[in-house]
Structure 1
Amino acid sequence: MTETTHQAVAVAEDKTTQRAGLMHAFSEAEQIVSQLRSVPTDVNVRGTDGSYTVHLFFSRHDHGSQGVLEFAQTFDAEVTSAPSMHIDGVYLEARTRVHGVPALAWTVADQAPDPDEPRERTADEDPITYALTPEGEALATAEAVGQ
């Protein structure tokens, strides 16, 4: 093999590794969301070179601090807070690793939640399971909603 051929093989292997890391992060994002009762406003995967982080944003208008607290409780993460630099409120975030993938949940809340009052999930708050129709539409399954 020529040096150019070796370089092409190395680039192809590198792209395969990057793609595998990206797909693993997407898979973990799906698993994270499926375990939360709170629905994130936005979920995305960011990163480069095969190292990716799942970002979950919870809007302050949809009880964002509850979403961050639930994420932290579910995935054993610590919630940190700081004054928001861009808008009035408190920036809250929880960071952890889920099956080796870094994950971050965040929001800007009106005030920091009381750390001594973690939000507990009750038995009737199990996540809803969704099924896809042949047209690709998401439907809640009857078993998941108790019907």
Structure 2
Amino acid sequence: MKDNYVKLDRFDQRILAALQRDGGLSNQQLAEEVGLSASPCSRRVQKLEEAGIIRARTALLEPRALGLDMTALIQISMDRHTPERLENFERTVASYEEVQWCYLITGQAADYVLKVMVPDMERYQQFLLNKITRIEGVSGVQSSFVMRKVVDSTAVPLGYL
């Protein structure tokens, strides 16, 4: 299985680590940080993008500064597990801006777990009743609310490379 992965050397790993810390680095800043000149650094970043390793460089926003004070984890059970039912559910939740991520899971009574951000309990209730419970096939919903974020990272672990 390992043969399907792109071989990364220490410069590639340094580039990825630096970009995970700060995706807004200019090429010159990145090159200086990883110990390369600008042109080779730029070529490596381009190859990492072409290989699909770097999906995007984005800004991470602070939800609370924007009034999004509530994060909920929602476990959702489906009535049937047909491809059409699951595809419809996934397509629908992907269109909701409140949904940060949606995973199809095993090992639980639920079929999916969603991470949702909203301003408050009232907006959560509206989201749940007007959107989630109206999706065809949703047969059960369990909500948990985040009290404190202990680890909240978007970084991919690079220590296994």
TM-score normalised by structure 1 residue count: 0.29
More strand by share: 1
More helix by share: 2
